[in-house]
Structure 1
Amino acid sequence: MFFIDRRDAGKKLAEKLSVYRGEKIFVMAIPRGGVPIGYEISRRLQVPLDLIVPRKLPIPWSPEAGFGAVAPDGTVVLNEELLAGLGLTDREISDIAEEVLGEVRRRLRTYRGDRPFPDLSGKTVIVVDDGLASGYTMIAAVRALKKQDPKKVIVAVPVSPASAVKKLSQEADEVITLHTQPFGPFAVASFYESFPDLTDEEVMDLINESLSMARS
């Protein structure tokens, strides 16, 4: 185990990101697990925190596994290699993506209310999560954020398998990790002493606290 909990990982990741202090930065966290990470980075770099809400597209008979991801603007990323062996039709893929997009937009309403999406044009965007697995959810986030015309998009996560870092390096301007596992079975939770599921209420508390600090 490398980290006590997500807040601890966020503090350590913030140290590595301190080289960007002073730039026009926006931290975009992927809920739920990425929000404590983003909160600590935002607090230490004294930059705004907001949310990007992609979600994986679950395999119907094995919903813990995914074959891609969708972002709030409808950006869909598919694991074509995996899909080739699943036998899903185009209609089934489309239906799953539409259902997941509905949940993405529900979460956005819950987390944001009527607060508008931030203007990211010309800014350095740091998109964070508590770790990568396949990397497809983060790819969906990066592709959606790039449509906002940022100066650059940086992926920052505490842990990742090398395979996901390789994929993201082709999408983001930079990928920053504290630990990259070169091979073998990988589970994000195994790097944390405490890794509880977060509730929507806990996510909203951190976002509201961050907004209060930014106004003060």
Structure 2
Amino acid sequence: MQPYRDRRDAGRRLAESLAPLELHDPVVIGLPRGGVPVAAEIAERLNAPLDVIVVRKLGVPWQPEVAMGAIGEDGVRVIDETLIARAQVTSHQLDEVERRERAVMDARVATVRRVRPPVELRGRTVVIVDDGIATGATSTAACRVARHRGAASVVLATPVASSDAIAQFHDADRIVCPWVSQSFGAVGAYYLDFSATEDAEVLELLTAAARNARKDEP
């Protein structure tokens, strides 16, 4: 049985777990693309700004769904040296994957920032949200970007994650995950509807968040 109907449902239920926490001046960060609809529900519940940190998984060349690392904004780079050695990925192959993913990342950052200037993170509690965590590579990269930007505290929030990823995750001050699975499959297996989140939806959610933030300004 899938625990969540869709990403919006997952976001509302995850927000219930976050609401009782004492979060100082929170900012909610969705990881594009699938994490943004989840994060939007949380931002609304917490009455907090919504923004994104763009990260990209570095997949093993012949098995792209397996993360050998991740990259993020501000030059953040996370590499799983053990997996790379075991998979016998050469430095040239790693560089090629990183070059390709960095181009995608840079293009997505440019698109996002046309509608949503970066929210200031310095001194604030940053809630990093994704729709699910299999290995934790991209979430690690996002947490490190938030630290680089001066976050006072980082909370990792996700509706579902593998028990291995949670046990090995050390880049957040707190982890909130209602559904931790020891026999983790694909993230989509935990949703009744896991339709792809398109760029247009991400931009629409960010535009709405920016508009609401302006309304709240004195």
The reply to whether TM is greater than 0.5 is: yes
Q: TM-score range by the shorter chain?
A: over 0.9
Structure 1 counterpart of 2:77? 76
Deviates more, 1:78-87 or 1:88-97: 88-97
* Structure 1 unmatched ranges of 5 or more: none
TM-score (norm 2): 0.93
- C-alpha distance in structure 2 between counterparts of 1:105 and 1:129, whole Å: 19
Structure 1 counterpart of 2:168? 167
Deviation per CA, 1:92-144, whole angstroms, max 9, x where unpaired? 32232122111101011112227542221110000000010111111111112
One-letter amino acid matched to 2:92: R
Q: Summarize the Cα distance change of 1:114–1:194 in structure 2 as closer, same or farther, 3 Å threshold.
A: closer
Task: Write out aligned runs for 1:93-132 (5 A).
Answer: 93-113=94-114, 115-132=116-133
Q: Summarize the Cα distance change of 1:100–1:22 in structure 2 as closer, same or farther, 3 Å threshold.
A: closer
- C-alpha distance in structure 2 between counterparts of 1:36 and 1:144, whole Å: 20
Deviation per CA, 1:20-49, whole angstroms, max 9, x where unpaired? 467301001001110111100001110000
Structure 1 stretches (4+) deviating beyond 4 angstroms?
none
Deviates more, 1:142-151 or 1:46-55: 142-151
1:66 aligns to what SS in structure 2?
A: strand
TM-score (norm 1): 0.94
Is contact 2:121-2:150 (8 Å) kept? yes
Structure 2 counterpart of 1:178? 178
Structure 2 counterpart of 1:149? 150
Is contact 1:21-1:45 (8 Å) kept? no
1:44 partnered with 2:45: yes
Deviates more, 1:111-120 or 1:4-13: 111-120
- C-alpha distance in structure 2 between counterparts of 1:98 and 1:75, whole Å: 14
Structure 1 counterpart of 2:190? 191
1:35 partnered with 2:36: yes
One-letter amino acid matched to 1:40: E
Pairs aligned (count): 214
1:85 partnered with 2:86: yes
| Cα-Cα RMSD | 1.5
- C-alpha distance in structure 2 between counterparts of 1:215 and 1:115, whole Å: 12
- C-alpha distance in structure 2 between counterparts of 1:136 and 1:59, whole Å: 13
Deviates more, 1:98-107 or 1:88-97: 88-97
- C-alpha distance in structure 1 between counterparts of 2:160 and 2:23, whole Å: 25
- C-alpha distance in structure 1 between counterparts of 2:118 and 2:198, whole Å: 22
- C-alpha distance in structure 1 between counterparts of 2:117 and 2:204, whole Å: 18
Q: Summarize the Cα distance change of 1:22–1:151 in structure 2 as closer, same or farther, 3 Å threshold.
A: closer
Is contact 2:115-2:207 (8 Å) kept? no
Is contact 1:72-1:101 (8 Å) kept? no
One-letter amino acid matched to 1:173: D
Is contact 1:71-1:144 (8 Å) kept? yes
- C-alpha distance in structure 2 between counterparts of 1:8 and 1:130, whole Å: 11
